[in-house]
A = this chain, B = another copy of it.
Amino acid sequence: MTVARAPRRITVAEAARHVGELVCIPGWLYNLRESGKILFPLLRDGTGILQCVASKAQLPESVFQAIKDLTQESSIVVTGTVRAEPRAPGGYELEVADLEVVQRVPESDPYPITPKEHGIEFLLDRRHLWIRSRRQNAILRIRHEVVKAIRDYFDSHGFTLCDTPIFTPAACEGTTTLFEVNYFDHDKVYLTQSGQLYNEATAMAFGKVYTFGPTFRAERSKTRRHLTEFWMVEPEMAYATLEDVKQVAEELIVFVVGRVLENRRAELAVLERDVSKLEAVQPPFPRISYDEAVRLLQSKGSPIQWGEDFGGDEETLLSEAFDRPVMIDRYPAAVKAFYMQPDPERPEVVLGVDVLAPEGYGEIVGGGQRIHDYELLVRRLEEHRLPRQAFEWYLDLRKYGTVPHAGFGMGVERCVAWICGLDHVRETIPFPRMLYRTRP
């Protein structure tokens, strides 16, 4: 079929703005339905899925037959007119005028992921293809929105982005869960678990900073909350306290959830997410102490005793008790990192806070105030048997204009899992890395 002029190339997402126009959309065949002399190919182009209508009466026989023969994920360029059609999914459809087959996937080697159920290992082995599915696509779009919202929040609140190094000589919170890298045979470095120590240096240079990049934990755990490679945002503020951390974390979480609700309703619908649960994420978040949390857990039958750290089970129990994120502060110093500032009124607890997401998702934020006194920090390094020499630069921050400062870390994948309502963090990143999974 000949068209008078070259039709404009658009995306599925743009279709609504081109009703009545002849357009061309390159993409892939997501599915094909047949109804008598009409074919309904579903066109997927990465921005959305659009129902096309190919009528035998209006198309050359060869084009109609080519459409009829299409196989799943064949690459196609569809030319046609956009129509508003309330009965079509999404409200628009494309009346096919022409269709070019770029590559037809042969029946002899068909696209391996079919609409039927597949096992999780089968899908993870084909992650490079699985991400084309409507559901995975929706999750990763929400991830994009979450990342953008986080950056927008900090960029618009006076924080300077200071990328902290991935190669680090020392561990932030112990060395047992570090990945080691052979550095040109003359040095050994580790992959960062947290940019916090460096953040403390940049906060003294810029006032308010954040780092946002991949972090690594060599944990031999196979839980639904763990990846060996995951992304974390970590803000740090000079002249700030535990209360500032709570306020910023609360604002940030409300902002991020709000952005997803504002811009990703369609994706949440694909995931069949109960959005009322997200709409409830409004300030103020409940704030309780570790002491209160222990009592709450005990009242729910947990055997936990004061002084013990919370594991996944405790976090789940606690986070199920609230309809929005809950902030728990003042943990025992013994279960927290060496750099945490003790509460001056109760030195056995620290000025730290964890934020647990609701619906059983557990910790999404951890942070607090850091020790700013030189002597105390030296003592803590000794108590934790950390090599002082590796921390000389970190001690310098307490020698040259030390100030109270505080910050936190928020894990992207756990946030996305919670916002999307997923069982496992493995679907929240394009190519998850786990204990027994490094491919594709």
| Contact surface of A with B, Cβ cutoff 8 Å | 11, 13, 26-29, 45-47, 73-75, 77, 102-103, 105, 109, 111-112, 126, 128-129, 131-132, 136-137, 140-141, 143-144, 147-148, 151, 155, 158, 160-169, 179-184, 186-187, 189, 191, 198, 201-208, 213-214, 216, 218, 220, 228-229, 231, 238-239, 393-394, 396-397, 399-403, 429-431, 433, 435-436, 438-440
Contact B403 A26 (CB under 8 A): yes
Task: Identify A431's interface contact among B148, B164, B435, CB under 8 A.
Answer: B164
CA distance in complex: A26, B207 (Å): 9
User: Contacts of A191 on B, CB cut-off 8 Å?
Assistant: 181
CA distance in complex: A433, B201 (Å): 17
Task: Identify A129's interface contact among B29, B400, B436, CB under 8 A.
Answer: B400
Contact A438 B228 (CB under 8 A): no
Contact B181 A73 (CB under 8 A): no
Interface of A is mostly: mixed
Nearest CB of chain B from residue A80's CB, rounded to whole Å: 17
Contact A162 B229 (CB under 8 A): no
Contact A167 B229 (CB under 8 A): yes
**Can you list the 3 inter-chain pairs with the closest CB atoms, starting with the nearest?**
A46-B207, A393-B440, A128-B201
User: Contacts of A143 on B, CB cut-off 8 Å?
Assistant: 161, 163
CA distance in complex: A436, B141 (Å): 40
Contact B180 A438 (CB under 8 A): no
CA distance in complex: A291, B404 (Å): 60
Residue of B nearest to A111 (CB): B400
Contact A396 B129 (CB under 8 A): yes
Contact B73 A400 (CB under 8 A): yes
Contact A179 B183 (CB under 8 A): yes
Nearest CB of chain B from residue A335's CB, rounded to whole Å: 26
Nearest CB of chain B from residue A253's CB, rounded to whole Å: 20
Task: Identify A206's interface contact among B29, B126, B137, B228, CB under 8 A.
Answer: B137
CA distance in complex: A228, B141 (Å): 31
Contact B181 A179 (CB under 8 A): yes
User: Contacts of A137 on B, CB cut-off 8 Å?
Assistant: 205-206
Nearest CB of chain B from residue A402's CB, rounded to whole Å: 5
CA distance in complex: A105, B142 (Å): 48
CA distance in complex: A180, B188 (Å): 12
CA distance in complex: A168, B214 (Å): 14
Residue of B nearest to A183 (CB): B438
With A26-B238, A206-B140, A431-B165 known as contacts, the answer to whether A218 contacts B109 (CB < 8 A) is no
CA distance in complex: A108, B37 (Å): 92
CA distance in complex: A403, B179 (Å): 38
Task: Identify A161's interface contact among B148, B166, B183, B238, CB under 8 A.
Answer: B148
Residue of B nearest to A200 (CB): B128
CA distance in complex: A401, B111 (Å): 9
User: Contacts of A231 on B, CB cut-off 8 Å?
Assistant: 163
**29 A-B pairs (CB sep. < 8 Å):** A26-B238, A45-B207, A46-B203, A46-B205, A46-B207, A73-B401, A77-B239, A102-B403, A109-B399, A111-B400, A128-B394, A128-B396, A128-B397, A132-B205, A140-B206, A147-B161, A148-B155, A163-B231, A166-B214, A166-B229, A167-B438, A179-B183, A181-B181, A181-B191, A183-B228, A186-B436, A187-B438, A213-B213, A393-B439
Contact B158 A11 (CB under 8 A): yes
Contact A182 B184 (CB under 8 A): no
Contact B103 A402 (CB under 8 A): yes
User: Contacts of A132 on B, CB cut-off 8 Å?
Assistant: 204-205
CA distance in complex: A151, B154 (Å): 14
Nearest CB of chain B from residue A34's CB, rounded to whole Å: 20
CA distance in complex: A260, B429 (Å): 31
Contact B28 A435 (CB under 8 A): no
User: Contacts of A399 on B, CB cut-off 8 Å?
Assistant: 105, 109
CA distance in complex: A216, B131 (Å): 26
Contact B430 A163 (CB under 8 A): yes
CA distance in complex: A238, B73 (Å): 14
